[in-house]
Structure 1
Amino acid sequence: MNSADDQRLIEAVQARDETAVGQALADGADPNVTVGRFRGSVLAEAARDGKLGIVRLLMDAGARMEPADPYTASPLRSAVLEAHTEVVQFLVARGALAAEPATRSSVLTDAVSHTSFHPRPAALATLRVLLEARAAPGPADEAPLVTAVMRPVAPAALRLLLAHGADPDQRRSDETPAIVIAARRGDHAAVDVLLQAGADMEARDRQGRTALMHAVERNERPVITALLLAGADTDAVSADGMTALHLARGWQRQNVQFMLGERHAGLDDVPIARTAVRLTPTHVRLTGDPQMLQLLASVIDIALDDLGDDEWQCRTGTNAETAQSVAARLREDMVRAANASWHQLDVTADELGAARSALVELAYGTTRGTPAGTNRLEIIDLLAELDRQLSR
């Protein structure tokens, strides 16, 4: 072994100089030399950079596909994590899957995860290569479909897994069905993909609860809609005696009660067995450009002027003085963030409720005026954006 030749090989690989790599190998450099601490072998380095020509030279010279040590990634994993599809395909064809240690999560699990962490076409193509090569999850890994739903990944990745044989009724290691996991997380896109693939919408977890029950309890209305349109059973009873409607009543979710077929809904005190904790923030930080915060103030002013104090309080359930106060604060009290370009204002839950109520009045109520330069559809969009954030 010649350390000078090895160093030349390392430098050539890092410089992505295929000619220099070939010369260093011809001069006797070790194809398994490590680049440095935590970076692994020169083969892993070349795979990480996506340099297929260099990978081929190193493999032909006898480079090993195992990780250089227990703390570094293998060449295959290095290529998967960077979504270098051609390198992954080459290494798989040379037997790299068999060289992966069983003590780590599988490269298949990593590939599924990376369609969420670093989404791009190459990540999906890399996952396809591994699926076509029949890559399998590791002994401690969840099934790929479960991993995908738990991340969550885009529908394209779910459809790819299903097209390569994933079971839409796959269960997690604790026996929770994939469709229940998706429903609990509010992932209506995943629920829809699973339903189209034939997943059992009435599948139950260990508590005997269905996807619909979990979606109702968490107020995930897009998921509820998808399940109801697919024909989910609203009368199903869990092991502890709960139904979807019972859960909606217990959480006083009146909109959901109507979705489930109720004709009348009130704030009834209904005891239920809860499987979720609901957060009720008492203060919220509004952030945005000054003109956006001032726009909210103008929305409140218009609604108040149109309705009058008494009608405002009757229609919105919020105090007119609170609405007037937050409108003034939106104009006068906002400050620029210390380490960012936006402006911000901390408001109470009641103040936020007043701002939202004003948006509702301009979007869907009898008030027809809108702030200068805006229209009703833009107010509807702003309300929808606020509601999405509040539902997270």
Structure 2
Amino acid sequence: MQLVWVNTTTGDEQRRTVRGRSVFLRLTRSGELKTSVFSTPLRIEIEGQNVFVRDTGDGPPLSVAGMAVEKGRQRAWGRNQELRIGANVVFWVADSAMLRSRTPIDPEQRRRWVAIITVLILLLLLFGFLGYRTMTANNTVQMTALTPIATPTATSIGTLSLADKPTPAGAPMPTPMLTPTLTPTPALVPATDVSPLHVPATPTSDPPPPPTVSIASPARPEVWDARLDALGVNFVPAIVPVGGEFWRLFEATWLDEWEATGRHHIFVDVVDAQQKRFQEREVRIRVSTDGSLTACTPAIDPNIQRPFGADCPMFSSGFAYTVTVDDRLPSDRVERLGLGTIEDRFAPIHTSFILRFRLERRTNN
């Protein structure tokens, strides 16, 4: 901004450009306006589009727009208002840099530009759609033109003989003569006596061992929360050969919005045959959505102090998640998990699930 200093007695005018946010002004004995960084009777502060003036109490009295400025108090100094210091009048003018950096955008102009840009985008989309339709139509025409037309063929059953000369008018048309094509009859070959072939019997050997049968694990876990049926949760048992190891789901529990206390997770634990958290190797839990997209694969934490070995947050309601043990061994599977309640399955209400798997060996039972 610029400060314009006018002496009402002599009519002299001075101008000073002010940079920064704060400046001190002083008037010399000769009446010249000086700017300084040291404390002087007048201090001007710039904050955004506002300019403030403060009388430090060491000079002549100050007034802004005809109203006195109390000593030690700060007063707003409008752009069209005069600051009087004795016989001198000071007013400020915003320079181009200040106007560029602080002039707000006209809302009407902003709306106009938004409308213009929106129309241009719609036109581009329309032209792109028309171009796509035209290209598709041209490709269809080209494919139709290149498709060969099948020529009908007829089986020849004879030779049609007509006169080479034209038939005079009124004369009867000759009847075409068909020459049949003779097919040779194959000669009969006398039958030859064939002696029967005697194959020696294969010696009897031990019967093959019975095949190994793969059967599913029990239909339900040992602990199954009845509310899971109302939620539409599915349990899919693993297909395991007899004598093979697999991960069996032995507990499944649902926590409603009050029991979950704000949590929205699938809590999973994996234990061995002794009901201790599995620690022989790293085992991960696979939580997927839509049966293919993986949501998370946390590893089971071997720290037995934690209540659960792993957990995965849920962010989708309804039947979004499937859980299984991600290991080289077969595993039971739980499907159609997600946020929501029994009354409204797709409500974004925080609920949780607890699933526990145990390493077992499949028997005939």
Calculate the TM-score normalised by the size of structure 1.
Answer: 0.23
More strand by share: 2
* Greater Rg over alpha carbons, structure: 2
More helix by share: 1
Calculate the TM-score normalised by the size of structure 2.
Answer: 0.24
